[in-house]
Amino acid sequence: MQIYVIRQGDSLWNIARAFNTTVEEIQRANEIPDPDRLVAGQALVIPIEGRYYWVQPGDSLWAIGRRFGIDYRELARINNINPNATLQVGLRLYIPPRTKIRAEVNAYIEPVGDMVSPSLLLAAQQAAPNLTYLAPFSYQVTRDGGLNPMPLNGLPEIAERNNTTLMMTVTNIEEGRFSEELARAVLQDETSQQTLLDNIVAEARRVGVFSDAHFDFEFIPVDLRQAYTEFLRRATKRLRGEGLLVSAALAPKTSAQQMGQWYEAHDYQAIGSIVDFVVIMTYEWGFSGGPPMPVSPIGPVEQVLRYALSEMPSYKIMMGQNLYGYDWTLPFVRGQTFATAISPQQAIQIAMDNNVAISYDFRAQAPFFNYTDAEGNRHIVWFEDARSIQAKIDLLKRLGIRGISFWKLNFNFPQAWLLVEDNLNVVKR
């Protein structure tokens, strides 16, 4: 695949011609509803093998080869040119496909109501070929160790058809929120814990395609830090004996001393030594109730992952990645202004409808734009595109970690799966 950013005056016809592909292929890959309506600054994934590069002033074959990780003599051979000749500015060179790495990929999916909707089933089917795990969110724990059921209709069958396994996500959500009271009730009662583990085993056996029990306990009282660690130790011992992996979701910390109830009960070093792997929630720097900013700026994401690497092995770390952005109404007033979560496809539509160009923050590796709505209200939108996802996959490769975990399939983002396919040999269990 190749990423191309639309410029003013571009058309899908001239883009397709430049890359030796068709309008239909580009339109299909990026789910473009109207090929005659494009947004300046919109990133497209071009569905070709390898990529093309146009020679710039000052380029040499050696420098281009180094940039793309290919010997300049091989680059000359592929493009049928003299390796010692001066390159003409504007010459189009073909760059062969990049080397893929093995990695695990997870995606959460959150059914609403009593059934998995047809649109969510379609999203799961589209993503499943490029997933190791599909994680229905969530089985909610009760105070006596019960496990509230959740809709799964169609998901086990999708998993089986695509050699993907289900990840049983277990949470301390009560009445729509992560509950410290529920966490305390379970983590201070070994009988409740034993009942919970029995229920997890029974549900895994009933469904038949779960390979991992994934604990996402958040907002745990700080004094229960050790109790949560010991619960995970107990869970791992029991569930591994039933053939299940055990994983845990962790808040994005940058030090062992990080303060706050979201962070303190998650002991990176201890939990990393117990469970099979962790999913670190490296997103929500920009969040609904916070000031406008990128949801997962690459600098802070890397800082969290490097701290994690200091506390646990790289093969246990999965990087979290959002599949959504936020639309803030300005001016932002804390406690009064709340952003609306939107998909990347919705973000592009908003930019198109308001006739504004998309900008890109290269430091944060995130796209954004401003617009004024029909009522005269100013807005800013931060979201994800092909460039921001590629930047995170490049970070995954550079750090050598286990994989990437996407939150969540409820937001449409077709480019993400094209980039996963292009960069990763997805591990299948």
How far is residue 325 CA from its own chain's centroid?
Answer: 12
Report the distance separating Cα 146 and Cα 104, nearest Å.
30
Angle subtended at Cα 391 by Cα 292 and Cα 38, rounded to the nearest 5 degrees: 70
Report the distance separating Cα 22 and Cα 14, nearest Å.
10
Least Cα distance to 156 among 121, 191, 127, 190 occurs for 121
3-state secondary structure of 251: coil
Catalytic residues: 218
* DSSP run (H or E) holding 14: helix 12-18
Report the distance separating Cα 94 and Cα 18, nearest Å.
12
Place of tokens 């997870």: 106
Tell me how far CA of residue 384 lies from CA of 297, 298, 345, 361, 369, in angstroms: 10, 12, 10, 11, 12
Report the distance separating Cα 358 and Cα 348, nearest Å.
8
Enter the tokens of residue 191: 């009988």
Return the DSSP state at 210: E
Least Cα distance to 394 among 286, 316, 301 occurs for 301
Report the distance separating Cα 428 and Cα 132, nearest Å.
5
Report the distance separating Cα 415 and Cα 189, nearest Å.
45
By the 8 A CB rule, do 60 and 85 touch? no
Q: Give me the residues paired with residue 3 across strands.
A: 45
Report the distance separating Cα 153 and Cα 375, nearest Å.
42
Enter the tokens of residue 162: 């695509």
By the 8 A CB rule, do 378 and 370 touch? yes
